[in-house]
Amino acid sequence: MAGIYIHIPFCKQACHYCDFHFNTSLAYKDDLLQALIKEINLQKDYLSGETIETIYFGGGTPSLLNGEEINSIIGAITQSYTVSSNAEITLEANPDDLYPNKLKVLRQTPVNRFSIGIQSFFDDDLKWMNRAHHAEEAESSVKRAQDAGFENITVDLIYGYPLLTDQKWKPNMEKVFGLDVPHVSAYSMTVEPRTALASFIKKHQQPAMNEEQSAEQFMQLMEATQTHGFEHYEISNFCKPGHYSRHNTNYWKRVRYLGIGPSAHCYNGEARQWNIANNAKYIQAINQNTIPAEKELLSETDRLNEYIMTSLRTMWGLDLDKLNTIAKGSSDELLKAAPEFFERQWIRQEENKIHLTQTGKLYADHIASRLFF
């Protein structure tokens, strides 16, 4: 099995915190969509004939596409690859795009899962983030999607930013639970270089993020999702039993995937490659039958460290036997570096697997980096 990621690099406006590749001008849209379709054909041998189990439209804002454009991209994939009859096909969507007529159109496409970027149910927070939607749309978009027959929905929330008091964070969570969606992704606000938020903080126009606030709200999130029957299956992801994001889960389980579009990444088990993050240069290269990508061959150490990083983030944990399939004896070396985390009760071992504890999830990246080879 394998997955395909399609990067749609267009947005109506720039969120202050976002550092993904996108453009607020649609000037290259038609040319870029044609280039995406051409790249799918150029990359038809990348996954060596594996069946495609997941397709994920990310961005940017893929919900800017119309039904015909989505169908043309999926049609190109089915011409170049064998797609499973029960493939998970996800479309990232902004709430303001999911109006009734648009949902009717999307029902005529193979899309069967939405990832809706709500982020907050408070208008002042959305304005602070420079989101394109307002609070009423955040809630009504989910209900409209459900009424249109879309049941496999995940929503995004952000926590750990100055405006988000606990008096706001708890109602945000409760609102999601009340909408009866089977999946929630929640992320701590991070300040990425070259974003508007980073500039505001540097100029003292906004306060810096508070790590203690973020940690406390993460703990509240873990408690609330558990109370409502969600499984915490990855650091930032929670779902009702059986409703994992199959596409993202494959990333964490080192399943091969193909990335299509500017800035998109690919992984085939032995190497990673990533396309240029420039729309015009991407289109020019594809039209010349060239994949504008850099490539990195993964060393044994790279593969060990990637497995440590990704597996520890999940509820399935780090499998010491799998670690040894990458490099013989590596599990013994890892366990030599782990005693301090056992003592602090940040990790636990069950048979041959290492798991983060509830407290350990606060330090996931630090623990992984200390266990690296």
| Position 239 confidence tier, pLDDT thresholds 50, 70, 90 | very high
Q: Which among 224, 201, 205, 221 is positioned nearest to 213, based on CA atoms? A: 221
Q: 280 exposed, middle or buried (CB, 10 Å; 0-12, 13-18, 19+)? A: middle
Residue by residue, DSSP assigns 11-58 as -SS--TT--SS-BS--TTHHHHHHHHHHHHHHTTTTTTTPPEEEEEEE
Place of tokens 């997955």: 3
**3 state DSSP class of 365:** helix
Q: Strand order in 318-319's β-sheet?
A: 318-319, 353-356, 347-350
Mean pLDDT (whole number) for 71-77: 98
- The predicted-structure confidence for 155-164, as pLDDT tens digits, reads as follows 999 999 999 9
What is the residue-averaged pLDDT of the chain? Answer: 96
Q: Does the pLDDT value for residue 26 go beyond 90?
A: no
Q: Does the pLDDT value for residue 352 go beyond 90?
A: yes
End-to-end CA distance of the chain: 29
At residue 17, the pLDDT reads 94
| Position 247 confidence tier, pLDDT thresholds 50, 70, 90 | very high
Q: 67 exposed, middle or buried (CB, 10 Å; 0-12, 13-18, 19+)? A: middle
At residue 1, the pLDDT reads 86
- The predicted-structure confidence for 88-97, as pLDDT tens digits, reads as follows 999 999 999 9
Mean pLDDT (whole number) for 54-77: 97
Cβ atoms of 15 and 131 closer than 8 Å? yes
Q: Which CATH class for the 2-252 domain?
A: alpha beta
The helix (run of H) or strand (run of E) holding residue 160 is none
At residue 23, the pLDDT reads 86
In whole angstroms, what is the distance from residue 31 CA to residue 310 CA?
36
Mean pLDDT (whole number) for 28-46: 96
At residue 230, the pLDDT reads 98
In whole angstroms, what is the distance from residue 296 CA to residue 13 CA?
33
- φ, ψ of residue 322 in degrees (nearest 5): -65, -40
CATH of domain 300-371: 1.10.10.920
Q: 136 exposed, middle or buried (CB, 10 Å; 0-12, 13-18, 19+)? A: exposed
Q: 36 exposed, middle or buried (CB, 10 Å; 0-12, 13-18, 19+)? A: buried
Q: What is the DSSP letter of 5?
A: E
**3 state DSSP class of 358:** coil
Domain extent listing, the chain: 2-252, 300-371
Token representation of residue 7: 């990067």
Question: What percent of the chain shows pLDDT beyond 70?
Answer: 100
Question: What percent of the chain shows pLDDT beyond 90?
Answer: 96
Q: Which among 15, 18, 51, 20 is positioned nearest to 265, based on CA atoms? A: 20
- The predicted-structure confidence for 275-307, as pLDDT tens digits, reads as follows 999 999 999 999 999 999 999 999 999 999 999
Q: Does the pLDDT value for residue 325 go beyond 90?
A: yes
Q: What is the DSSP letter of 262?
A: T
At residue 246, the pLDDT reads 97
At residue 198, the pLDDT reads 87
At residue 49, the pLDDT reads 83
Mean pLDDT (whole number) for 59-78: 97
Q: Does the pLDDT value for residue 25 go beyond 90?
A: no
At residue 275, the pLDDT reads 98
Q: Which among 156, 148, 128, 150 is positioned nearest to 61, based on CA atoms? A: 156
- φ, ψ of residue 114 in degrees (nearest 5): -110, 140
What global pTM score does this model have? 0.96
Mean pLDDT (whole number) for 213-219: 98
Biggest alpha carbon distance in the chain?
A: 59
- The predicted-structure confidence for 132-142, as pLDDT tens digits, reads as follows 999 999 999 99
Overall size of the chain counted in residues: 373
In whole angstroms, what is the distance from residue 25 CA to residue 27 CA?
5
